[in-house]
Amino acid sequence: MKKLLKLLQSFYLAEVARPLPLLRIACWTGLFLWLIPTFVHPCELREVVEFQEYVDPAEMVCVPITYHSTDGFRRDIAAKKADEFRYAWIGGSSLLVRRPSSDGLEDDIRFLPTLVQPLLRKTGGRRPLALMYSLEAGRLYDEYLCVLDALSHQPDLLVVELNPVWVYCDKDISFWPNLYADGVRLIPPRPQDWAYYLLLTSPSKMAEGALSPVFSVVNDRYRYYYRIVQWVQRGGGLAHRAAMQPTGDTAQPAPPRQTRLWTMPIAFWFMNELQYDRFPDPGVWQEQILLHYFNTSAAAANAHILDMMLRAIRDSGVPTLIYTAPLNPEVLRNPQVLARMETINAALNHLADSVSDPAVCFWLTNPDHPLKPEDYIDNLHLKNPEKFVDQLVDRIARILPPPREQTRAHEDHP
Amino acid sequence: MHDAAAYFADLLVLAVGTVPLFFLVRRAAWRRALLTLVGVWLLFVIAPRLAIFYLGYWLLVAGVQALVGTTKGWLRNLVFLVSLVVFVSPMVLWKLFPEAFTVDFNLWLHHFTWNLSPQLGAIDAVKGMVIPIGLSFSTFRALDLLITARLGLYERLSFGRVLFYGLFPPIMVIGPIAQYEELEKDDSLARLRFRTADLGLGLGRIAIGLVKVFVLALPLKSTEQIILNFPAYPPATLWVALFLFAWYFYLNFSGFSDMAIGAARLLGIQLKENFSYPYFQPNLQRFWSSWHMSLTRFAQRNIYVPAGGYRTRTQYLALVATMMVIALWHDLSLPLLIFGLYHSAGLLVTRIYVGRRKRKPAPAASLSGRLRLGLSVCATFGFVMMSFPLVLLPLGQIVRYYAKLAFWH
């Protein structure tokens, strides 16, 4: 009997009790992850969402959290209401319309998605709500992730703006790795798209995405980070303690020297491959990128990403307008740039021809758009968008189903 | 730009799948292959070109190591010497010309990646510029392997083993400079079994490292900026900042070492310690025996002993040579040369003083003895602390910094 007990005890210690430390570690980790948000609250989400302060959240919700964020898309988007016409607009900084102030005060800032809103007549009486995905320096793969996120919010309409400078630039296919975490919930149903996701995304980003729905502390990671930053800026950090304040030469430090090691990816390749001593003005480098980093071949990464994006749109069945951002006519005066633009149009036309779905419409704006150089603040960003907005509304109206049909389709939804 | 913290975050996430898989496969070769693949993936995440570089680097090390092991006589010596130059030169060039080397390193490898596959090139381009992270550690481990092969201390390692050693994930980017036998000795890899004690110790060690780096060191990071912008601060602030910077430097570095040692322990692999309370040592000799110990051990094996450190006539020369290598490993610059000379002088004085004291009876554990020990610890810390500005500041500012520290305006 004693032997048997001893045997059982040794078995218990060797096999049964063995997982206990693991369990203990898991319990403690879980407890801490649960306790942190109970006692330490993150800051308000609106503080960390770019552009939201400029618009009424009942009219437009800015979805990506882009302000130097470790976070990706906001996850507090309310479910679609019965009386809501929801449309998602994806693009770069060119969605922002900035009218410089004449009296030296703050510029008047508006957004293409809301400028279009009052002119939309085919919403069947439903209240329009825009989900805006405006990414400063947004690139093709980032836009693809935005498309997937937008489609997950059941939009009635999707508008995708492609920046002609970046759409076929295979030197910079992505700029916002903070969006990758959300790929964990967006990419799995699309096995053909896994390869790019796995090649671009780090394991920790995937873990962030996987843990976010489970632990609010992971989901709110950027809001905690932002709170710490605020605390440091308010004087909580060591460098801001009174004893650590500078007393001597407080002259403004010299701006950082532009070395060839500049860390922004495209700037690094641009300066070192094209042998520029400094990163030139946007007008110059955008032109140079169009001329030197340009690949419309079917084997290029950009063609694959565009293909992935189109497949996602087609599978969703959501009416979609894909347009290229109108460039300043000044840029198009350069015959080499114009030739590039024609090649881009040809490649996109080829892509459009491959889409047989009438709900997906392409609009290649360059060079035949109605805007003049004085409507721009630079090569891409607008200050007087009215003529362009009119055309956008017209294009959108063409792809939207008639209101009655749409209402009926909407009624089918629970 | 990728940093060590991001690397360890990825490593720890991958450990969730790698550790069970490691214990599931029993054959040593499979285990080596698994860890090598994880290492390659972690480098790929930083930038594909970095993974390609290190794969090529360690394949070359494996080839040369095999050549050193199979040749004899003058040919062996020639191969050995040429290989030393080949493997040390990337690190030396990087330290001498950091900007030019980093640019060319990235451009050449990026173009190579692009030529392999334009799609891989497009992924690589997204990552932008990367510094050759882990190059110093790789160089020293490669040298250790080649010297061991040259001395015939153990049998020639297969390509798979060399790749496993070179790309062993926990130590790849920020040390410690482990020897091959710390990872595997006489096929010990195949005999490793899952033990919850190892898991507990590994996770505990990683937790200690995380606390050191993110809780204790991170708030002190701003002291670096205070030292760099010293003209704007009063001397008292500079003293406080220097004191705190010494702790930042230690906590940050030793925290990452803890994470590396802990991550290896998850697999049942026990790496040697890299830090052992260096700021609580009574003299400089003991300080260097407890600070970045893997580098000290490397220097001891490959410089101090061959240079005659255990011989009475040559011991001081060997000491200086060892210290200079340790100093210049951090950076090939004049401030680091001064750093090396400063610590060499301190070590020589300590060696002579300790040597004399050994002949006297050891002091009793009395109050005065404890007081003396406390004073020795403070003096050693103060001596070390005073050398840290040499690691941070350019040569032209060093004299002005120390003058300001000494209340001269």
pLDDT digits (tens, 9 = 90+) for A339-391: 999 999 999 999 988 888 888 999 999 888 889 999 998 888 898 899 999 99
Mutate to test the interface with B, among A24, A268, A289 (most CBs of B within 10 A): A268
CB pairs under 8 A between A and B: 122
- Partners of A206 on chain B (C-beta within 8 Å) are 13
B283-333 pLDDT, tens digit each: 999 999 999 999 999 999 999 999 988 888 888 999 999 999 999 988 888
Q: What is the mean pLDDT of chain B?
A: 91
- Minimum-distance CB partner of B10 among A204, A238, A244: A204
The answer to whether the Cβ–Cβ distance between B127 and A269 falls below 8 Å is no
The domain total for chain A is 1
In a domain? residue A31: no
Helix, strand, coil in percent for chain A, rounding step 5: 50, 10, 40
Give the minimum alpha-carbon distance from A305 to chain B in angstroms, rounded to a whole number: 11
| A34-44 mean pLDDT | 82
Alpha-carbon torsion angle B86, B92, B96, B99, nearest 10: 80
Taking 80 as the threshold, does the pLDDT of residue A244 lie above it? no
Q: Is ipTM > 0.95 here? A: no
Least confident among A159-163, A234-238, A358-362: A234-238
In a domain, A297, yes or no: yes
The shortest CB-CB distance from B122 to any of A175, A202, A301 is to A301
Confidence (pLDDT) at A18: 55
Nearest chain B residue to A246 by CA distance is B233
Nearest to A238 among B10, B127, B220 (CB): B220
For residue A286, name the pLDDT band (cuts at 50, 70, 90).
confident
pLDDT band at B14 (very low <50, low <70, confident <90, very high): very high
The total number of residues shown for chain A amounts to: 414
Contact B244, B220 (CB under 8 A): yes
Cα separation, A35 vs A29, whole angstroms: 10
The alpha carbon of residue A172 is apart from the nearest alpha carbon of chain B, in Å, by 6
pLDDT of residue A254: 46
Q: Indicate whether A26 belongs to any domain.
A: no
Q: What is the pLDDT of residues B214-232, one digit of tens each?
A: 888 988 888 888 999 988 8
CA of B124 vs chain A CAs: smallest distance (Å):
9
Identify whether A338 is part of a domain: yes
> Residue A324: which pLDDT band, with cuts at 50, 70 and 90?
very high
CA of A201: which chain B residue's CA is closest? B45
Q: How far apart are CA A92 and CA A96, in angstroms?
A: 8
Nearest CB to A261 within list B102, B199, B203: B102
The pLDDT of residue A410 is above 50: no
3-state secondary structure string, chain B?
A: CCCHHHHHHHHHHHHHHHHHHHHHCCCHHHHHHHHHHHHHHHHHHHCHHHHHHHHHHHHHHHHHHHHHHHCCHHHHHHHHHHHHHHHHHHHHHHHHCHHHHHHHHHHHHHHHHHHHCHHHHHHHHHCCCCCCCCHHHHHHHHHHHHHHHHHCCCCCCCHHHHHHHHCCHHHCCCCCCCCHHHHCCCCHHHHCCCCHHHHHHHHHHHHHHHHHHHHHHHHHCHHHHHHHCHHHCCHHHHHHHHHHHHHHHHHHHHHHHHHHHHHHHHCCCCCCCCCCCHHHCCCHHHHHCCCCHHHHHHHHHHHHCCCCCCCCCCHHHHHHHHHHHHHHHHCCCHHHHHHHHHHHHHHHHHHHHHHHHCCCCCCCCCHHHHHHHHHHHHHHHHHHHCCHHHHHCCHHHHHHHHHHHCCCC
pLDDT, position A413: 42
Q: Which residues contact A48 (CB under 8 A, 6 or more apart)?
A: A65, A67, A69, A71, A222, A223, A226
Helix, strand, or coil (residue A141): helix
- Which residues of B are less than 8 Å from A196 in CB distance? 123
- 3 state DSSP class of A281: coil
Q: Is residue A251 part of a domain?
A: no
Pick the more confident residue, A178 or B275.
B275
- Interchain CB distance below 8 Å, A204 and B13: yes
Residue A338: domain span: 51-228+262-407
Among candidates B1, B222, B233 on the partner chain, residue whose Cβ is nearest the Cβ of A246: B233
More confident residue, B5 or A27: B5
Query: Which residues on chain B are in Cβ contact (under 8 Å) with A264?
Result: 128
Alpha carbons B140 and B176: distance in angstroms, whole number: 10
Q: pLDDT-based confidence at A408, cuts 50/70/90?
A: very low
Residue B409 clears pLDDT 60, i.e. is over it: no
CB contact under 8 A, A263 and B45: no
* A10 located within any domain: no
Q: Cβ–Cβ of B241/A244 closer than 8 Å?
A: yes
Query: Please, which pLDDT band fits residue B353 given cuts at 50, 70 and 90?
Result: confident
Is residue A56, in this structure, part of any structural domain at all? yes
Q: Which residues of A touch B200 (CB under 8 A)?
A: 21, 25
Is residue A411 over pLDDT 60?
no
Q: Which of B323, B332, B297, B298 is nearest to B91 (CA)?
A: B332
pLDDT of A251 reads: 47
Give residue B187's pLDDT: 79
- Residue A24 included in any domain: no
Entry pTM: 0.88
Q: Which residues pair with A64 in a beta bridge?
A: A73
Which of A397-411, B1-15, B135-149, B239-253 is predicted with the least confidence, judged by mean pLDDT? A397-411
CB atoms within 10 A of CB A26: 11
Q: pLDDT digit string (tens) for B65-120?
A: 988 888 888 888 899 999 999 999 999 999 999 889 999 999 999 999 999 999 99
DSSP per-residue string spanning A290-357: HHHS----TTSHHHHHHHHHHHHHHHHT--EEEEEPPPPTTGGGSHHHHHHHHHHHHHHHHHHHH---
CA distance B176 to chain A (A): 23
Mean pLDDT of A57-76: 82
